[in-house]
Chain A
């Protein structure tokens, strides 16, 4: 059995009187593509935000296992610390650095992998210079992998919508994550772009060895991509399993179609 990367145990998130996520359990193993689905308002993005440190979970444990096998409980850690543990995410409503070019956006993703400080930047010693050259090179390579190199010097906010979504993935990949969390990557894409995204995500997993957890509403994409699916409804994890199991699960059908 392969290594578990993310382990969520008995996790709840409470906002005032609302239990956005209620005692959810979930685990993701290395090399998997896992989807998290559920009707609008089910708590999917809340779960993402807790895993990536935007919110602190109210109850339960979230732990991330490093490639060396060390398990770290991430409840209450800052998002930048969690990124350093190898979790990277994209956002449902695109959050690119809009005043910067596409390439610069990816270069910022390299941030946790670099070391230059203020004095290194001012005196620009040979180590810093090499690091800077490598950053540009690496970032361009990442753009190429996602077919975005033609936009390298364009302002991120001027990119077509689909390209902006891909750029978010590129930026997240730049942090060299072990687990990539995609929050509705296909939202707003046309069918053609969605098909390409399907391939891209598979390639990221196969070529880069990055495990993937995605939230998605496009069921054909979810069914074609994911090996396992978790279903959230009103904050409760109502089902999990392979796409076939989930499709035929009466609780899931009820949640989506009503009685």
Chain B
């Protein structure tokens, strides 16, 4: 009883504090037309009740975390899932169902839905690319959208000046993405953590401002319009092109997963992760940090470059406004929310970040608030992300389990 009272007191203080904080914004409203002040006392009541309840739940959750209950529960739960997922029969039937759904999807739903899912898939690739830099290399990169812009503008400009088609631009976008990855890589070789974040952030803005201000070359803020959609032998209808782009995005997602998976358990991937864990020890193990960092940036940027080309082909119009810091931040949110370093985690994160605002239009105005809250809650209760990385195990025979 005593405990309950003290708990209630704590929550009461929190709710009072929130009432004071939100008072000017949620209670006082000045009606400028007839110069009166409206006092919305009901709002204050809602805030009080909401803050009281939430602070109660918050402390309960913290307690649970202290006790370590959740971890034990989730690991038992996880055990079951792993056993179930490693069942060969289940794997085959699950994967073939998934493949069927993926292939039939564009023919079953309205074609604007296909467009939305294609955007989500593009975001998945961006997330996977950024995950190489952040999840494996451990380099906090806040200017990732710049590589996206580089890809989009490589197609835009190549079309504008030489009339080159999508399929020529795609590999070129990948290469120019990688080159720009090296360009940002060199000056930041010695930086880590916050300092690296600041420089990469600045790099992202520099690229955007260059695109905006080199009007003679890039057409500036008005952007490049009427970029052709990718052609499948002949020019496709809008509907056909949308479906086609959907499959291109699917193919790129599969390619990204394949390549990253392979890199992950190879000498190159191990070197990147060693660098993330401890730079000095990694160097003492003979890892060339210069090479490892440049590799990280280039490997990460390749994907953004390709997705950029797809974006230009999808929207047929690009301008610098699509590649703001906000875009970089959203990709980062997808990675951190889903699970840094974990491929399924990043895929889930990218879908959540793109599809929730899309399908819950009513909440679209509050999405930044929601993602902010989600990040805070996640970093306290589950810092490893929704689907954390699972490390590979080796059997003593030298094989892989």
Interface of A with B (CB < 8 Å)? 52-54, 78-80, 83-84, 88-89, 91, 95-101, 103-104, 107-109, 111-112, 114-118, 120-122, 124, 128, 131-133, 135-137, 140, 149, 152-153, 155, 171-172, 174-175
Q: Any chain A CB within 8 A of the CB of B110? A: no
Q: Which residues of A contact B269 (CB under 8 A)?
A: 121
Q: Which of B68-76, B209-217, B259-267 contacts A (4 or more CB under 8 A)?
A: B259-267
Shortest B398–chain A CB gap in Å is: 4
Q: Which residues of A contact B259 (CB under 8 A)?
A: 122
Q: How far is the CA of A120 from the CA of B399 in the complex (A)?
A: 19
Q: Which residues of B contact A109 (CB under 8 A)?
A: 285
Q: Any chain A CB within 8 A of the CB of B226? A: no
Q: How far is the CA of A52 from the CA of B265 in the complex (A)?
A: 28
The chain B residue sitting closest to A149, CB to CB, is: B396
Q: How far is the CA of A14 from the CA of B328 in the complex (A)?
A: 44
Also in contact, A111 and B270, with CB within 8 A (given A84-B286, A122-B262, A152-B394): yes
Q: Which of B139-147, B276-284, B363-371 contacts A (4 or more CB under 8 A)?
A: B276-284
Q: Are B274 and A118 in contact (CB under 8 A)?
A: no
| Residue among B262, B278, B281, B285 with the highest chain A CB neighbour number at 10 A | B285
Q: Which of B227-235, B287-295, B306-314 contacts A (4 or more CB under 8 A)?
A: B287-295
Q: Which residues of A contact B33 (CB under 8 A)?
A: none
Q: Are B394 and A118 in contact (CB under 8 A)?
A: no
Q: Which residues of B contact A80 (CB under 8 A)?
A: 283-289
User: Which residues 245-273 of B have a CB within 8 angstroms of A?
Assistant: 259, 262-263, 265-271, 273
Shortest A17–chain B CB gap in Å is: 25
Q: Which residues of A contact B278 (CB under 8 A)?
A: 95-98
| Residue among B267, B271, B287 with the highest chain A CB neighbour number at 10 A | B267
Shortest A122–chain B CB gap in Å is: 5
Q: How far is the CA of A120 from the CA of B262 in the complex (A)?
A: 10
The chain B residue sitting closest to A54, CB to CB, is: B280
Also in contact, A100 and B295, with CB within 8 A (given A83-B284, A83-B286, A136-B394): no
Q: Are B285 and A78 in contact (CB under 8 A)?
A: no
Q: Are B288 and A78 in contact (CB under 8 A)?
A: yes
